[in-house]
Structure 1
Amino acid sequence: MRAPELLDPAASDWTISAEPLADVLADLDPVDLLLALPVPTGGVRPTGATAKALALVGLDAVEVSATYEPRSEAGSVTTIPLPPGERPARKVLLVGVAAATAADLRAAGAALGRAGKGHAALVTTVGGGTSRAGQAALAEGLALGGYSSPRWVRDDATPASTPAAQVALVGSYDEPSVRHSVVRARATMLARNLAVVPSNTKNPAWVAAQARTLAGRSGLDVRVWTERELKTEGFGGLLAVGAASATPPRLVQLDYAPEGATTRTPRVVLVGKGITFDTGGLDIKPADGMLAMKTDMSGAGIVLAVLAACRELAVPVKVTGLLALAENGVGGAAYRPGDVVTQYGGRTVEIGNTDAEGRIVMADALAYADLRLDPTVLLDIATLTGAARVALGRSMAPVYATEDGLTRALVAAGEATGELLWPMPLVEDYRANLDSDVADINHIAGMGGGGGSISAALFLREFVGARRWAHLDIAGVGRSDVDRGLLTKGGTGFGARLLLTWLEEMT
């Protein structure tokens, strides 16, 4: 897939109408039209809006219930084909919405998004009249359920399938909530696209080029540090990790400012880990461990996608994104266990394991943010530790923060988007395990040290000064092995919707 298509994920044309369903259906071509209706707990009722909608396509609610026995479990779909050319739709999809909570509607939306792939139109009343949170969740599910990862075929790449060309929501919907949800979902799709690009294409310079393109489209200021500039300014962590690669490291800075911003407008800095491929370095990974390593730049991809969406969502604060980009290779120039690396700002780090490279490149970016950008809040996101996956699996990510209020705000944004976070402590007793005999700090816990994800967070904290800071370790949730619900195999883009929701609610 060429870069322009990767940066513009396929999406449906969305409409919202308060007109009667019969009028909406009459205006559309029925040849390839799907009509989706909700099945709440208790099943399809013999009277009411769903029964009337079924009657529009020649179906009786009582007979449908008896014949097809549609289930109400959130995301279950019962398909009823209709005679071609005789009805205002080609198929009816009865989708379970259970109690119609936000989570239920997100699951229902994902199921409908998947069912709509490749079709001309999907018309639905699902979610109409529910809360704004529920409608936002439905829209997220519909958009992400319709997404497909790109496939590389011959000299180009295309999505395996495309979402429904048109999605029409018919009924009482809060249009801003729906529209913003679709924008956030598209940011997730962009992050996913970037994550699955093969690493023989996706090197640090390539990611930097995509950042320049997106900056131009989104009205962002952009700066890219070359290898020479990184050396001149003392970004020793990026240079060490990228030393063995044929493609040198890069640091990218993207800046967004809302309309009317002043010197008093708060500034949030987001740092993303951007390891475009991770062999593990001299502490080389086993072969199976490398298979997913093209997605090890997911943090940077998410930060890039978030910055690209800020203007469309009218985020009210200044936002800076830092993409710490390097390839962790093997070779004569590779950094070694036992090396001492001087990070940006002068702190020295003893290398304990070259496969813990993410925290080294991010330490440079965090120190730069602290010393040069004066952020109100500093946050980083990374596929950082296997310990995070072991601790919390693939359903939620640990969040570490220096302030309880910041933790609560991020957890609330995660609950609103279904990207769940679990607060984790910065255990001070573990800090001594990072002491080094030869440098300011060791970058991994010494012998007998535990709490791998906590230790990594404690290491990163050393580079943020006294800033309000949070760290999201998405190693468990940042990749998916399944193609189901909202997820597709590969990078998940976890955190894009969460961070945008958090930023939108700042004042």
Structure 2
Amino acid sequence: MVKPVTFTFQDVNIDEISTFAGRVAVLVTSDGRMDNAARRVNRLTKGAIARMIEDGLKAGDARVLAYPVGMAAEAVDVICLEKRATQDEARAAGVALAKTRGAANILACLGNHSKADQVILGLALRDYGFDAHKTATPDEDARAITVMATKPDLIREKSEPYLAMAEGAFFTRDLVNEPANVLTTESFADRLVAMADIGLEVEVLEEDKLAELGMGALLSVGQGSDSPSKVVVMKWLGGNAGEAPLALVGKGVVFDTGGISLKPAAGMEDMTMDMGGAGVVAGTMRALALRKAKANVIGLVGLVENMPSGNATRPGDVVTSMKGDTIEVINTDAEGRLVLCDVMHYAQETFQPAAMIDLATLTGAIIIGLGHENAGVFSNDDGFAKSFLKAAEAEGEGAWQMPIGKAYADQLKSRIADVKNVGGRAAGSITAAEFLHRFVQDGTPWIHIDIAGVASTKTDTKYAPKGASGWGVLALNRLVADQFEVTEE
């Protein structure tokens, strides 16, 4: 997997700044204040930084001084960051630094800035490139970053949980970016099993077990493919023993042709990202394990491939869910909800969670409604929804609450079964949420998050280059920290 850039932390060494051969980054403020490192660079470059500030350097600006006279560095990156910068401003400074760096090592002179850890997180999140299938081998040694600070051990300690979050986001991005001939249901499961090395308990439920459990809805989606359907359960039990966990459930359709309701050819290559919900769950579980979160969280993902074949489910077929409800399949391209409904039921029956969140690249309709700026949030518990929305806002991940209700559920009435899997074009993302709502047990706070518009984008996002964004890992990690972690008295 793509690993976040390597950081080392050291005391401020003014003499080293002039001899460093990569890129040197310094922080200044818009009113011209410089710390010792910036003043040293300013003297070495005969006042170049002061001239930048006089030229109108504003908070958030990033300027590059290439091949500075008097220094061994190939460039100096001058980042304008106020002393009392917000979290977002500090992360943006790190993002700006990541965009300028190229392939060079960086000496980041962060001094005693109070938000140094947030600068580091922004840098780590943006310093990503998916090169797994390019023949040129990236030079990992050229990606090292040395952080020069007045209290390096403290900055290291404060940064460690943020770097765990970055690694979780990278894991999600890697999964979403992988082509479907590489990320099969089997190789996806193998990557999750390997996370036992970082302390997760991982169990894989194979097709025979899924059939025994009665997961007819999930199995109907994958029956046209040669790739076996699976459910992978990841446990992180870092909270109080016996305390009800938070359940995270992800849709993992490793490739979605639409099945017999075949999608148009144009754009079908993007359906490698239809396992984005499972990717977010996996990345979040990785982050929680790496930072040793004091919470009980169960991550469950349904892994299938939706292919047309002589064995594939047909429009008009009736399948039976694990809950026992019969489902008329009107459109085989509305398959994600069939996967999720069985995994959600299993999660509740097996773990009796305190709350449950499902994530899925579920509908194109949510993109029509919210574009690529916000995920759609649907919930049976407004208080729980507000907690998530607060966490998403705090982490800069766009989310917007959408309605649910009986009128939308009525669109799913079937003539021949208990329910049908689509409710027509009107309010498509809401009727999809109402289909899932049917499988939420009374008393379980639940959130459904439709990430179809935010999981992978054609342009850069706040913290990621175009492609897989890793959206959701930061927000879910924050929600766990705010609402589900054991507090020390």
Q: TM-score, normalised by structure 1?
A: 0.87
Change (3 A) 1:44 1:291: farther
User: Residues 136, 354 of structure 1: CA spacing in aligned structure 2 closer, same or farther, 3 A cutoff?
Assistant: farther
Paired residue total = 479
Superposed CA offset, 1:229-257 (max 9, x none)? 22222111221000111112111111111
Q: 1:149 to 1:345 in 2, by over 3 A?
A: same
Per-residue deviation, residues 193-246 of structure 1 (Å, max 9, x unmatched) = 1111111121111111111111x2121222111122222221112210001111
Equivalent residue letter for 1:11: P
Do the aligned partners of residues 212 and 160 (structure 1) sit closer, same or farther apart at CA in structure 2, a change above 3 Å counting? same
Query: How far apart are 1:177 and its partner, in Å?
Result: 4.1
Give the CA deviation at 1:295: 1.0
Structure 1 unaligned regions, length at least 5 = 1-5
Q: Is the 8 A contact 1:119 1:164 kept in 2?
A: yes
- Say if 1:399 and 1:473, in contact at 8 Å, map to a contact too: yes
The residue number in structure 2 matching 1:149 is 130
- What SS is found at the alignment partner of 1:287? coil
Q: Which amino acid aligns with 1:55?
A: N
Give 1:300 shift. Answer: 0.7
DSSP-derived class of the 2:260 partner: coil
Matched AA of 1:168: V
Query: Do 1:44 and 1:50's aligned partners in 2 also have CA atoms closer than 8 Å?
Result: no
Aligned to 1:341, the other structure's residue is in SS state strand
Q: CA deviation at 1:414?
A: 0.8
The alpha-carbon distance between structure 1 residues 140 and 238, as it changes in their structure 2 partners (threshold 3 A), is same
Kept in 1, the 8 Å contact 2:27–2:38? The answer is: no
CA distance in 2, matches of 1:229, 1:451: 35
Normalised to the residue count of structure 2, the TM-score between the two structures is 0.90
How far 1:11 moved relative to its partner? 2.5
Task: Give 1:164's match in structure 2, choosing from 119, 131, 143.
Answer: 143
CA distance in 2, matches of 1:162, 1:411: 39
Query: For the residues of structure 1 that align with 2:99 and 2:197, how far apart are their CA atoms?
Result: 29
Where in structure 2 are the equivalents of 1:92-491 lying within 5 Å?
92-97=76-81, 100-125=85-110, 128-130=113-115, 135=116, 137-153=118-134, 164-171=143-150, 175-214=156-195, 216-258=196-238, 261-263=240-242, 265-446=243-424, 450-466=426-442, 467-483=444-460, 486-491=463-468
Label 1:97 to 1:383 Cα distance change in 2 as closer, same or farther (>3 A): farther
Secondary structure, counterpart of 2:365 in structure 1 = helix
In the alignment, what sits opposite 2:20? Answer: 30
**Alpha-carbon contact 2:26-2:37 (below 8 Å) kept:** no
Shift of 1:16: 4.4
Q: Which residue identity lines up with residue 25 of structure 1 in the other structure?
A: I
- Matched with 1:13 is 6
**Structure 1 CA distance for aligned equivalents of residues 456 and 99 of structure 2:** 19
Aligned-residue offset at 1:319 = 1.0
Partners of 1:225 and 1:499 lie apart in 2 by: 25
Residues of 2 paired with 1:283 and 1:31: CA distance?
A: 58
Compared with structure 1, are the counterparts of its residues 269 and 72 closer, same or farther at alpha carbon in structure 2 (3 Å cutoff)? Answer: same
Report if aligned partners of 2:23, 2:77 keep a CA contact under 8 Å in 1.
no
Distance 1:313 1:151, change over 3 A: closer
> Could you tell me which of 58, 74, 85 is aligned with 1:72?
58
1:91 lines up with 2:81 in the alignment: no
Query: Whole-Å Cα distance in 2 between the matches of residues 353 and 191 of structure 1?
Result: 28
In structure 2, list runs of 5 or more residues that go unmatched: none
C-alpha separation in 1, matches of 2:457 and 2:418:
37
The AA in structure 2 aligned to 1:494 is: W
Distance 1:188 1:209 in 2: 19
d(CA) in 1 for partners of 2:92 and 2:297? Answer: 31
Q: Contact 2:372 / 2:454 at 8 angstroms: preserved in 1?
A: yes
- Structure 1 position 302, deviation (Å): 1.5
Measure how far apart 1:90 and its partner are.
3.7
**Counterpart residue type for residue 216 of structure 2:** G
TM-aligned CA deviation for residue 89 of structure 1 = 4.0
* Kept in 1: contact 2:218–2:342 (CA 8 A): yes
Per-residue deviation at 1:21?
Answer: 5.6
Q: Is the 8 A contact 1:268 1:319 kept in 2?
A: yes
**Pair 1:498–1:176, CA change in 2 (3 A):** farther
SS at 1:207's partner residue? helix
Q: 1:152 to 1:46 in 2, by over 3 A?
A: closer
